[in-house]
């Protein structure tokens, strides 16, 4: 089953405090974005990859992809000021694909097994997101006061990829744009249209590199994955 993937990588990485876009951080001598793109470049189901980069990093990104001998048919397109703007730009460059995935450049540990489960779900149901059950007890809090303990069995932590039949996500993005809605992930834009979103259980290793301590965890995950290969 074929799919296209949009990889937003046009952030600033402020919370990582590296002084540059975290996509270019090295993990075991390989840039984060190359780890991520490689997974899709080696997946036979993936027929199109669009990487969304900062306008002033487009040439560096293209060069990196070339240096690491990632197949040439990867498009690098300019992003926008927020993730949602960047994804919209990426979606504009996808046309014929039936199924489109959106996957953060900063999540290098995504596994083909989970990509394929998601693609199959999106093919049948229209919208699917990867997530994991939360481990901690969750409380709703206001002004440092606990309002209630949330029934944990109903709470999942969602990741990317998020997968869609193309019109489902494109129409949701257009609607959000027209109505000035800002969401923190892609499915939230779909949810507000009333379209049902399915969840596929992934694994805890599919972390997003967000703050400096994530690098230590990432190195450990990478070491384990390398030993298993």
The binding site for ligand CTP (CB under 6 A) comprises: 8-15, 22-23, 52, 79-83, 86, 104-106, 208, 210
Strand residues in 117-213 grouped as ranges (E): 127-133, 138-142, 145-150, 156-165, 198-201
State how far the Cα of 227 lies from the Cα of 229, in Å rounded to an integer: 6
Residue 48 or 83: the one with the smaller Cβ distance to ligand CTP is 83
Q: Work out how close the CB of 210 gets to Mg ion at its nearest, in angstroms, rounded to a whole number.
A: 8
The pattern of x and - marking residues 8 through 37 that bind Mg ion according to CB under 5 A reads: ---x--------------------------
| Element spanning 128, H or E | strand 127-133
Q: Which does 10 bind (CB under 5 to 8 A by kind): ligand CTP, Mg ion, none?
A: ligand CTP
Q: Work out how close the CB of 225 gets to ligand CTP at its nearest, in angstroms, rounded to a whole number.
A: 20
Residue 80 or 112: the one with the smaller Cβ distance to ligand CTP is 80
Residue 51 or 119: the one with the smaller Cβ distance to ligand CTP is 51
Structure tokens at 124: 């049948």
Residue written as token pair 């972390």 = 207
Q: Work out how close the CB of 162 gets to ligand CTP at its nearest, in angstroms, rounded to a whole number.
A: 12
> What DSSP designation does 24 have?
G
Residue 11 or 79: the one with the smaller Cβ distance to Mg ion is 11
Q: Work out how close the CB of 161 gets to Mg ion at its nearest, in angstroms, rounded to a whole number.
A: 17
3-state secondary structure of 101: strand
Q: Which does 210 bind (CB under 5 to 8 A by kind): Mg ion, ligand CTP, none?
A: ligand CTP
| Element spanning 150, H or E | strand 145-150
State how far the Cα of 188 lies from the Cα of 19, in Å rounded to an integer: 30
* Residue 100: how many other CB atoms lie within 10 Å: 27
Residue 11 or 105: the one with the smaller Cβ distance to Mg ion is 11
| 146 neighbors 139 (Cβ within 8 angstroms) | yes
Q: Which does 55 bind (CB under 5 to 8 A by kind): ligand CTP, Mg ion, none?
A: none
Per DSSP bridges, beta strands 127-133 and 198-201 are parallel
| 20 neighbors 33 (Cβ within 8 angstroms) | no
Q: Which does 14 bind (CB under 5 to 8 A by kind): ligand CTP, Mg ion, none?
A: ligand CTP
Question: Which residues make up the interface to Mg ion (CB under 5 A)?
Answer: 11
């Amino acid at each position: 089953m074929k799919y296209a993937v949009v990889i937003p990588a046009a952030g600033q990485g402020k919370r990582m405090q590296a002084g540059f876009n975290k996509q270019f951080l090295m993990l075991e001598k390989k840039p984060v974005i190359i780890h991520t793109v490689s997974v899709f470049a080696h997946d036979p189901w993936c027929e199109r990859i669009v990487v969304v980069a900062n306008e002033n990093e487009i040439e560096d990104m293209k060069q990196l992809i070339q240096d690491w001998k990632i197949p040439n048919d990867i498009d690098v397109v300019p992003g926008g000021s927020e993730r949602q703007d960047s994804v919209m730009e990426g979606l504009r460059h996808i046309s014929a694909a039936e199924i489109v995935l959106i996957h953060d450049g900063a999540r290098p540990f995504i596994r083909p097994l989970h990509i394929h489960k998601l693609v199959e779900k999106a093919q049948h149901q229209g919208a699917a997101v990867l997530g994991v059950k939360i481990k901690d007890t969750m409380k709703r809090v206001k002004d440092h006061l606990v309002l209630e303990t949330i029934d944990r069995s109903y709470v999942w932590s969602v990741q990317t990829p998020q997968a869609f039949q193309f019109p489902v996500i494109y129409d949701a993005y257009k609607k959000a744009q027209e109505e000035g809605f800002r969401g923190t992930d892609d499915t939230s834009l779909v949810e507000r249209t009333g379209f049902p979103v399915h969840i596929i259980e992934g694994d805890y290793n599919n972390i997003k590199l967000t703050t400096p301590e994530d690098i230590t965890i990432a190195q450990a995950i990478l070491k384990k994955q390398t030993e298993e290969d």
